[in-house]
Structure 1
Amino acid sequence: MTRPGWHQYFMEITRVVAKRSTCLRRQVGALIVKERRILCTGYNGAPAGIPHCSMVGCLRERLDIPPGERHELCRGLHAEQNAIIQAALHGVSIAGGVFYITHQPCVLCAKMICNAGIKEVYFQGNYPDQLAADIFQEAGVKLICMGEDDKNGENEDEGHHPAALE
């Protein structure tokens, strides 16, 4: 039996969280951890109390909006936004915490993550956003890409630190 390292353990949980997503385009899961304790989770989908995109269709698809553009034209919240909101709703401080996300954050989420006091962001799926990477770098937030070869936790602390995305 192979025991996963902490980063791999938390990244695996993000994939389970992503299964709750109601987005028709991309399923994203996120969690915020502090001192190896999970504080909150989030996945992408419509706000509480309104119909999910899986029920009413995707506005972005109808308007033919490419991925990574015009984030405001979407019924859903991003997984990172939902995780931060859950922490705020329950009075949980996430300052100094670590974010684990199935995909690289967009620029909007990067700004929220920086202002929330998060110190490190681990992600696995590529969703390249150079401006987001630049913002993290300027704010001193470590952005760490865990490659597919990290699935068994073998590279526990050897994630790729993208100074510039290619």
Structure 2
Amino acid sequence: MSDGCHAGPGPRPSWDEYFCEICDVVARRATCLRRSVGAILVRDRRILATGYNGPPRGLRHCAELGGCYREQMGVPSGQRHELCRALHAEQNAIIQAALHGVETTRSTLYVTNFPCSLCAKMLINAGVIRIVYRGHYPDELSAEMLA
């Protein structure tokens, strides 16, 4: 794991900075009312798939349904993910790769926020070998699994 999204010296971004900035654009597609997250799977400096957080294809967004169910129930951030209508950005990136027959082994995940434990398990099984993130997410189990 690496928090490699911070700008280095000089005007030209490093590869990590480059992909992290693309993640920011991907995150702007998110429909989650609580957190906008973008993710990119990369291998050999080539983008394999992207993902952002939002409900499954064809289902209505929380904003269209009157708000976030977890927020209405008073569920703190990082807990009870099974109550959320949305897929996480990391999950959507893995799903997009699978739908298009793109192998994810030996890839790097660039993501705007540290993955939760649900996503960490999927990333491990998808063969992701490196994770570069910008924002921390308080999930001790995830940090332990990805160490």
Q: Please, what TM-score do these two structures have when normalized by structure 1? A: 0.81
Q: Which structure 2 residues correspond to residues 82-121 of structure 1 after superposition, within 5 A?
A: 82-121=92-131
Gap runs ≥5 in structure 1: 138-166
1:2 has 2:37 as partner: no
| Residues 69-120 of structure 1: CA deviation (Å, up to 9, x unaligned) | 1000010000000000000000000100000000000000000000000000
Q: Which structure 2 residues correspond to residues 56-71 of structure 1 after superposition, within 5 A?
A: 56=65, 57-71=67-81
1:49 has 2:58 as partner: yes
Q: Give the Cα–Cα distance (whole angstroms) in 2 for the partners of residues 53 and 83 of structure 1.
A: 20
Structure 1 ranges of 4+ moved more than 4 A: none
- Identity among equivalent pairs (%): 58
Gap runs ≥5 in structure 2: 1-9
Cα offset, 1:133, TM superposition? 1.1
Q: Which structure 2 residues correspond to residues 17-166 of structure 1 after superposition, within 5 A?
A: 17-56=26-65, 57-137=67-147
Q: Give the Cα–Cα distance (whole angstroms) in 1 for the partners of residues 52 and 64 of structure 2.
A: 17
Q: Report the AA paired with residue 78 of structure 1.
A: H
Q: Aligned with 1:124: secondary structure? A: strand
Cα offset, 1:129, TM superposition? 1.1
Higher RCO (CA < 8 A, seq sep 6+): 2
Q: Give the Cα–Cα distance (whole angstroms) in 1 for the partners of residues 129 and 107 of structure 2.
A: 6
Cα offset, 1:54, TM superposition? 2.0
Q: Please, what TM-score do these two structures have when normalized by structure 2? A: 0.91
Q: Report the AA paired with residue 7 of structure 1.
A: D
Residues matched between the structures, number: 137
Q: Give the Cα–Cα distance (whole angstroms) in 1 for the partners of residues 63 and 50 of structure 2.
A: 21
Q: Give the Cα–Cα distance (whole angstroms) in 2 for the partners of residues 134 and 46 of structure 1.
A: 28
Q: Give the Cα–Cα distance (whole angstroms) in 2 for the partners of residues 102 and 33 of structure 1.
A: 14
Cα offset, 1:128, TM superposition? 2.0
